[in-house]
Amino acid sequence: QGTVVLAATPIGNTADASARLIALLERADIVAAEDTRRLYALANRLGVHVNGRVVAYHDHNERDKSDGLLDQVETGATVLVVSDAGMPTINDPGLAIVRRAIERGLPVTCAPGPSAVLDALCLSGLPTDRFCYEGFLPRKHSERVQYLRTLRSERRTIVFYETLHRIDDAMADLLDVFGPNRKMALCRELTKDFEQIRRGTIAQIRQSVIDEPPRGEMVLVVAGASEEEADAAAPTSLSIEDLAVLSI
Ligand code: SAM
């Protein structure tokens, strides 16, 4: 019996490729890659020859492809799953094969490595002992605001992925919903030559986005609500006794 290996790939700096990733790229029987051209480009930069069969494995086909790949695992193959950058399954393909492997009782493991979530969290300077990862915010303004409202009383540090095209609107909505004074960090181009971390209040970062629009890839890390903010944002909860008193 073989195994499925989810492997992290660099998020900008090729030197972050682990020795294990390199060995797996050389030795895996099948490499399931989000974008096969990007896989070969990475292998090229690493000076690695991919000996196994390479198949496209992305958001649109991962459900259909997983069982076929797992059939190969059953016959002894090592199937390496890689996305374009960072950890598969973190806003990237991979979860479908993990789920099916669990259902079919087949082994699945990780060759861990870079992921923008943890990189940004650690560099933000905000509490790291508890945090929540919120991925990408909804694209539509009304849905984004509604979603952010559900996070107003969240006490943990909150990590969002964001894109160049929506950063301006996202910052306006963050300011609107969380207010000007919460601390946050905008972490861009992590591990790359032009890595930049902007730290400040939501109002300051919003202004910096207007003054100097950030380019490249970015992650937003926002401080959790203080106790007072959480209390103020939480819907008032009434106990049965309170309700009984009110109804008298
Ligand atoms: N699987 C990836 C991971 O583990 O981080 C995330 C893939 S998701 C499709 C792409 C998003 O990750 C980008 O829009 C950005 O928010 C974030 N990201 C990836 N690489 C980054 C980098 N070098 N610097 C900042 N953000 C990055």
Q: What is the pLDDT of residues 39-89, one digit of tens each?
A: 999 999 999 999 999 999 999 999 999 999 999 999 999 999 999 999 999
178 DSSP β-pair partners: none
For ligand 1, the distance from its centroid to the CA atom of residue 161, given in whole angstroms, is 7
Close Cβ partners of 225 (under 8 Å, ≥ 6 residues apart) = 152, 153, 154, 155, 182, 233
| CA 109 – CA 60 distance, rounded (Å) | 23
CB 4 within 8 A of CB 109: yes
Position 144 pLDDT exceeds 60 = yes
| CA 87 – CA 221 distance, rounded (Å) | 18
Ligand 1 atom closest to the Cα of residue 136 is 16
Confidence of residue 237 (pLDDT cuts 50, 70, 90): low
Q: Give ligand 1 pocket residues (Cβ under 6 A).
A: 11-12, 83, 85-87, 90-92, 115-117, 161-163, 187-192, 217-219
Position 238 pLDDT exceeds 70 = no
pLDDT at 140: 96
Confidence of residue 189 (pLDDT cuts 50, 70, 90): very high
200 DSSP β-pair partners: 184
Confidence of residue 19 (pLDDT cuts 50, 70, 90): very high
Q: Closest Cα to residue 29, out of 72, 82, 85?
A: 72
- For helices 167-178 and 202-211, give the axis angle rounded to 10 degrees: 160
pTM (predicted TM-score): 0.93
For ligand 1, the distance from its centroid to the CA atom of residue 238, given in whole angstroms, is 42
Write b or e for each residue in 29-60: b if 16 or more Cβ atoms lie within 10 A of its Cβ, otherwise e.
bbbbbbebeebeebbeebebebebebbbbbee
Position 228 pLDDT exceeds 80 = yes
pLDDT at 245: 58
For ligand 1, the distance from its centroid to the CA atom of residue 37, given in whole angstroms, is 18
Q: What is the mean pLDDT of residues 182-205?
A: 98
Q: What is the mean pLDDT of residues 180-200?
A: 98
Angle at 187 between CA 185 and CA 190, to 5 degrees: 155
Q: In the predicted model, what is the mean pLDDT of the chain?
A: 95
pLDDT at 234: 73
Q: What 3-state class would DSSP assign to 84?
A: coil
Q: What is the mean pLDDT of residues 187-191?
A: 98
